[in-house]
Amino acid sequence: MKKNIALFVSLFSLLTTGTLLAQVQQAVYQDEDTPPESFTILLKDEWAYLRDAVAQLKKETENKDEFETTSEFQARAVRARDSLQSKLNAHLKETKLDRRVFGLCFKATLDSYNADAQIYSVKCSTTIEAPYSIPTVDCLVPANPYIQLTDSIQGGYRTSSIFMKFNPDFQWKVGKSEARSAKATESNVFFKVHFTVDLTEVRSANHGLLKIIPKDIALINRSNNYEYWKEEIR
C-alpha cells in the first residue's frame, strides 16, 4: 500500500511539474505589450527573409538545363519547392514564431455616447507600419471584421499600414455607469489586438505569403488591464 501511495505521489508530482512547465513556456512567448515599432521591425525582417528565400528558389528553378529533360526539370522544381517549405517551417520554429503571440495596442477615442441606445461610438486612428506586397511576396491580413492592411503613397513613397477598419466607428454596447467610468479615464482606453505571424504558405514555386493574423480584439483600460469588451477573430 505504501509503495502504491508513493508511486501515486511521484506520478502526480511529475504531471503537476509538466503542466507548470508547459504554462511557463507558453507565457514566455506571449508578448503582451509589443511596441508597434518592434512589431514593424519584426515584420520587415520576416518579409526580407521570405523575399530572399523565394528569390533563391526562382534562381534555381526558372531555367531548364540544356541536358535536362522536361520531366527531370519538373521533378527538380518540385524538390526545390519542398526544400523551401521545409526551410520556412524550420525558420518558424527557430524564431519561435510558431508559438509567439504579439499584443499590440491601438489608441481608442470615446467619441459620443447614446444614452437611450446605450451605444458608445469609438474611433481609432492608430496605424502600424507593415511591409507591402511585391511580385514574389504577398503580405496580407486575413479577411475579418476589424483589422485591415492597405497600401498607400505618402510623400512619393509606397507604404503599407495595419489599421482598424470600423465603418465609420466602433459601436460599443455599454451601460451608462461603465461608459461614464471609461470616459473618466479615457487616456488609458485602448483597443488591444493579439497577432500571430506566419510565412510558411508558399503559393507557387516563385511566390511567398507573409500572413499577419489577428486572433482577438479587446477594448481595455491599460492602467489596470480591465477588459470592457473582447471578441475572438476567426
pLDDT tens per residue, range 171-200: 999 999 999 999 999 999 999 999 999 998
Confidence tier at 25 by pLDDT (50, 70, 90): very low
**Residue at grid coordinates 470615446:** 110
Residue 214 covered by a domain: yes
Q: Total structural domains in the chain?
A: 1
Q: Range of 65's domain?
A: 32-232
Residue 199 covered by a domain: yes
**Residue (of 105, 234, 229) closest to 170 by Cα position:** 229
Residue 14 covered by a domain: no
Residue 135 covered by a domain: yes
Residue 1 covered by a domain: no
For the chain, counts of helices (H) and of strands (E) = 4, 13
Q: Under a CB-based contact definition with an 8 Å cutoff, are residues 217 and 164 in contact?
A: no
Residue 46 covered by a domain: yes
Residue 79 covered by a domain: yes
Q: What gap in Å lies between CA 100 and CA 106, rounded to an integer?
A: 20
Name the 3-class secondary structure at 103. strand
pTM exceeding the 0.85 threshold for the entire prediction: no
Residue 17 covered by a domain: no
Q: What is the per-residue pLDDT across 92-135, written as a single tens digit (0 to 9) for each?
A: 999 999 999 999 999 999 999 999 999 999 999 999 999 999 99
Please state, rounded to an integer, the average pLDDT across all residues of the chain: 87
